[in-house]
Chains A and B, each alone.
Chain A
Amino acid sequence: MEKGGIIKHDQAKAPKTGDWRYLKPEVDPSKCIGCTTCVLHCPEAVMEMRKRGKKEIAKSSEIGKEKEIVDIDYEYCKGCGVCAQVCPVKAIVMKK
Chain B
Amino acid sequence: MNKDLTKKFSSGHATCAGCGIPAIVRTVLGATDKPVIVSNATGCLEVTTTIYPATSWKVPYIHSVFGNAAATAAGIDAAQKALEKSGKLKNPAKIIAFGGDGGTYDIGLQALSGALERGHDFLYVCYDNEGYMNTGGQRSGATPYGANTETAPVGSQSFGKTQQRKDMMEIVKAHGIKYLAQANVAYLPDLKRKAQKALNTPGPSFLLVLQPCTQIWKFPTSEYVNIGKLATETNFWPLFEISAQGGSALGGEDYKYEINHIPKQIKPIEEFLKTQGRFKHLFKEKNLEVIKEIQKTVDENFEKLAKRAQIS
Q: Smallest CB–CB gap between B65 and chain A, Å?
A: 13
Residues of chain A in range 13-28 having any CB-CB distance to chain B below 8 Å: 13-17, 20-21
B52 and A43 form a contact (CB under 8 A): no
Distance in Å: Cβ of A77 to nearest Cβ of chain B:
9
Residue tally, chain A, CB below 8 Å to B = 35
A80 at the interface (CB under 8 A from B): yes
How far apart sit A21 and B21, CA to CA, in the bound complex (Å)?
19
Q: Do A44 and B11 contact each other (CB < 8 Å), given the known contacts A81-B18, A81-B220, A85-B225?
A: yes
Complex Cα gap A41–B227 (Å):
13
CA distance A15 to B51 in the complex (A): 9
Q: Are B12 and A7 in contact (CB under 8 A)?
A: no
**B12-A76 in contact (CB<8A):** yes
User: For window 92-130 of chain B, which residues contact chain A by CB distance below 8 Å?
Assistant: none
Given A39-B5, A44-B11, answer yes or no on A7-B50 (Cβ-Cβ < 8 Å): yes
Dominant secondary structure at the A interface: loop
Across the interface, name the chain A residue whose C-beta is closest to B214. A80
- Contacts A45-B26, A48-B2, A80-B18: A73 and B11 contacting too (C-beta < 8 A)? yes
Most buried by B among A11, A13, A46, A82: A82
B12, B14, B18, B188: residue with the most chain A Cβ atoms closer than 10 Å: B12
Q: Contacts of B22 on A, CB cut-off 8 Å?
A: 43-45
With contact pairs A14-B12, A17-B12, A46-B2 given, residues A40 and B27 touching in the complex (Cβ less than 8 Å): yes
CB < 8 Å: which of A14, A45, A75 contacts B54?
A14
Which residues from 51 to 72 on chain B have a C-beta closer than 8 Å to any C-beta of chain A? 51-58
Q: Are A85 and B11 in contact (CB under 8 A)?
A: no
Which residue of the partner chain, among A13, A20, A40, A46, contacts B11 with CB atoms under 8 Å?
A46
Q: 1/0 per residue B4-32: CB within 8 Å of A?
A: 01100111111101111111001100000
Decide: A11 near B10, CB < 8 A? Known: A39-B2, A45-B22: yes
- Within the complex, which residue of B6, B20, B58 is in contact with A43, where a contact is CB–CB below 8 Å? B20
Q: When the two chains form the complex, which single residue of B14, B27, B53, B221 contacts A17, counting CB atoms closer than 8 Å? A: B14
Residues of B within 8 A of A76 (CB): 1, 11-12
Q: Is the pair B18, A82 in contact by a Cβ cutoff of 8 Å?
A: yes
Whether, in the assembled complex, B258 has its beta carbon less than 8 Å from a beta carbon of chain A, the answer is no
Cα–Cα distance between A43 and B188 once the two chains are bound (Å): 12
- Chain B's closest residue to A75 (CB) is B1
Q: Is B85 an interface residue (CB 8 A)?
A: no
With contacts A43-B18, A43-B19, A45-B6 taken as known, whether A85 is within 8 angstroms of B223 at the C-beta atoms is: yes
Is A78 part of the contact surface with B, judged by Cβ < 8 Å?
Answer: yes
B162 at the A interface (CB under 8 A): no
How many whole Å from A43's CB to the nearest CB in chain B? 5
User: CA of A16 to CA of B11 in the docked complex: distance in angstroms?
Assistant: 9
Q: Are B12 and A86 in contact (CB under 8 A)?
A: no
Given A9-B55, A10-B54, A84-B222, A78 and B17 contact (CB-CB distance below 8 Å): yes
Tell me if A47 counts as interface (CB < 8 A to partner B).
yes
Q: Which residues of A contact B220 (CB under 8 A)?
A: 81
Across-interface contacts of B223 in A (CB, < 8 A): 82, 85
* A16 pairs with B188, CB closer than 8 A: no
**Is A79's CB within 8 Å of the partner chain B?**
yes
In the A-B complex, the 4 residue pairs with the smallest Cβ-Cβ separation, listed nearest first, are: A14-B12, A81-B222, A80-B18, A78-B17
A-B contact pairs, 15 of them (CB 8 A): A9-B57, A13-B54, A14-B56, A17-B12, A20-B17, A40-B23, A43-B15, A43-B22, A78-B18, A80-B17, A81-B222, A82-B221, A85-B225, A85-B226, A94-B222
